[in-house]
Structure 1
């Protein structure tokens, strides 16, 4: 019998199950969907890693699962079972694995402590490479306990502590702060006391399970609420917190340097973040915290007193979108610049090439040309292809050209990213945009497909309207809104002539971009659209 668990799903934890595709007795093939999960941004299917018969389903709709959570028990086909029988007996229950340089022999409960020299390496980091070491927590001669932090790494999205899979004495430290490491990079060499390692379980294993990151999800005791005033102040990057905690802090806009940790060695837990936010909100409601964004809460209204009503809960994507849009609108000083582009020649060129596009199975819409024009603008005005650093003092300039395209789906608004537009032709962009938009509407986008944009575009041209003020999709510093093109009388050469005009609305972050810069950027985009030959320059 094979236990099937949730595979690597990125940095997500506590993901909700919205569908179970199998039941006891179901015959499944490799890659058949077992369950469907829904994060705040997307849904994802969890496929079966093997062929066989489902004997037991261990989850139900609405359950929250993470990487390693048990899903189903599958009885493998006899041929597969014979091949994997020996390997299966040697495996322990699914846990994250820390790779080590030598094989650890199983220690018996009553055996004398075994001392072995072990080289501990960086475990699986979820595909991230060249991660920066921001803290080295041990030195030569330290006698450390099992699960003690060795080093702390920081990627673009999160920081993570690397724990020791052994108890013992550090003989040498092989990395230093600022080094770049990847999965398998040696960290320390130590004299390990094997009686405290997880290998002391009855089953032996050639790999040493890393401790589950349970401390920040299920603390052994309820933390004491930490008042805001009592919280320490330090550099947030030095705070002792795991990836999930740091991600939650970023989502809620909490400075980890001001949060008091209640975990082991003052580790900051997710519950500490919730306590901090709750205390801060209570302070604001009581009239304190004068420097905060104290917005009066809207009064609750009983709408049933006016007539019949129906209450429907928002789905997770719409709730997530609402939270992000509200945060972006409140924290980013928006200014919107408006202009129009004469797309008469562009439209003529598009119609001339429409048949060729249809034969290739792609749609050559005006949006494709707009994307190329925006990338031209990003090259001419690099401050638009940038993001404000978290410290508020630095501007991060991007050397890539990826555009987020807002897509309206049955489940809500999502923004998939089309990458490397500067290196692609019109037909190739049209093909990729069609594919990723289809995935968005089908709810099959992966989280990685919705990150990394240089700037975003929101096009309502297919619906209507003359102008609107799009909300910036942080950490971008600008977004271009596109409304419906219409024929207008334009004064040209002493006469009014009918021209097809496309309304454009550019919202930008006034902390980064000045009004004059925004006007020049939008004029540049308009010029590219009015004379598409410039897109070739």
Structure 2
């Protein structure tokens, strides 16, 4: 059998297809359930493949393939070389129909290879890097930065490489060496790199597919780009110029300066209207639904004096493990222990509040203030995590959130939420529930305040205020109060947590 741009056919039909891609498939390939993937792999690496045009590459799109009989053609979305192909924005999941174009990694006239990054888009849930499915030249960009792109609509036009006349004889592709095979595998895989590294590569006309990454899972680092550039040109990128330090201007001599007659200021600014998009658009939907819920509020103060001492003792140990230890891991673990006693607070209700679902996992969300807006990633399965496990995951989420690289998995599936408004300022707040959750807590800043101990003596106490909100349709005030008291006891006496840890 032979693989052509139209599908699978017999040799007699394949030989009649002039100036087309035709690949011979050995019988063992056709017997495999995943024979399409094997076709491409055999064409790239196997010496038992007969090719009419051995330098051509066969492209496959996203549609699912169905093979029923050797005499039938197999429909594909293969791209002919030398044609201008409309590269459309594919479905990125989660029911997302539109995204915002945040950054272009290519421009018109640039040459791209398969898996090279084309652009970065942002939905109301996460940022996604779009990669090329073709080798060719970018002919047209359909959107500018911050434009709204729609799933299924053209993103760019790519002119695939033109065909070259060659003999139509069937030839046998020689077997490749181990080194060549390794190089081809590197070229064909998905390139892992941050937007900053991709921008550095683009500015120096370097294809990421030609660079071997030294990071985790083959991720390309900035040092890999610099080393590649040094090997190619023998030059090292010049350092950024330092700003020249200017001496302070001389002080003016004492003299009487006449007071000028001031004119009333004339304001020349203009109002600006722009669409709501990205994370802000998601917040519009979520908060509009949330404020339809009858909220119940409860506030209290917690003495963290003993917890402050414990954290100071553990900080050097955490630092030795490469972990930044804040108070938040203790807050989250105390919440999880409290939810074990009050599972109704770790539940969700349907849209009409007819059914309540008790969640087995404690996926506790953390509200974060970022340049992109408010986001709420969550730490999964806090009920089985240690304090160090929680701290490690928080470090990861905060690092990705600061650069807008959180995944959809990080941002979905929450069952309870804490908001640390105190890191910015403030003592009390009125947090808004994130539906379909039924409760949320907000923490103020930690302040040193004089308090009386049991002996009536004044001491310096480390006080934090907490504000809870609950869905009053399913949560009553007594339940919220008891949960808060239990959470408070864990933090004021950290050793108590050991009694309930599992």
TM bracket (short chain): 0.5 to 0.7
Q: Which residue of 2 aligns with 1:56?
A: 139
Contact 1:354 1:363 in 2 (8 A): yes
Aligned pair 1:402/2:363, yes or no?
yes
Contact 2:111 2:138 in 1 (8 A): no
Q: Which residue of 1 aligns with 2:282?
A: 320
Aligned pair 1:341/2:302, yes or no?
yes
Q: Which residue of 2 aligns with 1:528?
A: 490
Matched pairs, number: 310
**TM-score (normalised: structure 2):** 0.57
What displacement does 1:516 show? Answer: 0.4
CA distance in 2, matches of 1:378, 1:440: 26
CA distance in 1, matches of 2:396, 2:320: 16
SS in 2 for 1:448: helix
1:93-108, aligned counterparts within 5 Å?
A: none
CA distance in 2, matches of 1:327, 1:352: 44
CA distance in 2, matches of 1:39, 1:45: 11
SS in 1 for 2:319: helix
SS in 2 for 1:471: coil
Q: Which residue of 1 aligns with 2:440?
A: 479
* Aligned counterpart for 2:395 among listed residues 416, 429, 434: 434
Q: Which residue of 2 aligns with 1:15?
A: 99
* Aligned counterpart for 2:413 among listed residues 452, 466, 483: 452
* Aligned counterpart for 1:42 among listed residues 104, 126, 133: 126
What displacement does 1:318 show? Answer: 1.8
What displacement does 1:524 show? Answer: 0.9
Aligned pair 1:517/2:468, yes or no?
no
Aligned pair 1:65/2:150, yes or no?
yes
CA distance in 2, matches of 1:323, 1:517: 29
Residues 345/19 of structure 1: CA separation in 2 closer, same or farther (3 Å cut):
same
Residues 8/320 of structure 1: CA separation in 2 closer, same or farther (3 Å cut):
closer
* Aligned counterpart for 1:25 among listed residues 105, 109, 113: 109
Contact 1:22 1:54 in 2 (8 A): no
Root mean square deviation of aligned Cα? 2.6
Contact 2:447 2:463 in 1 (8 A): yes
What displacement does 1:363 show? Answer: 1.4
Q: Which residue of 2 aligns with 1:107?
A: none
CA distance in 2, matches of 1:469, 1:394: 26
1:207-356, aligned counterparts within 5 Å?
A: 308=269, 310-311=271-272, 313=274, 314-329=276-291, 331-356=292-317
What displacement does 1:364 show? Answer: 0.7
SS in 2 for 1:378: helix
Single out whichever of 315-324 and 68-77 deviates more from structure 2.
68-77
CA distance in 1, matches of 2:496, 2:159: 60
Contact 1:377 1:521 in 2 (8 A): yes
CA distance in 1, matches of 2:152, 2:407: 16
Q: Which residue of 2 aligns with 1:373?
A: 334
Single out whichever of 339-348 and 440-449 deviates more from structure 2.
440-449
Q: Which protein is richer in strand relative to its size?
A: 1
Single out whichever of 424-433 and 23-32 deviates more from structure 2.
23-32
SS in 2 for 1:532: coil
Single out whichever of 434-443 and 29-38 deviates more from structure 2.
29-38
Gaps spanning 5+ residues in structure 1: where? Answer: 79-304
Contact 1:4 1:74 in 2 (8 A): no
Gaps spanning 5+ residues in structure 2: where? Answer: 1-80, 164-265
SS in 2 for 1:469: coil
**TM-score (normalised: structure 1):** 0.54
CA distance in 1, matches of 2:268, 2:148: 36
CA distance in 2, matches of 1:533, 1:59: 60
1:89-112: CA deviations, max 9, x gaps?
A: xxxxxxxxxxxxxxxxxxxxxxxx
CA distance in 2, matches of 1:45, 1:356: 37
SS in 2 for 1:499: strand
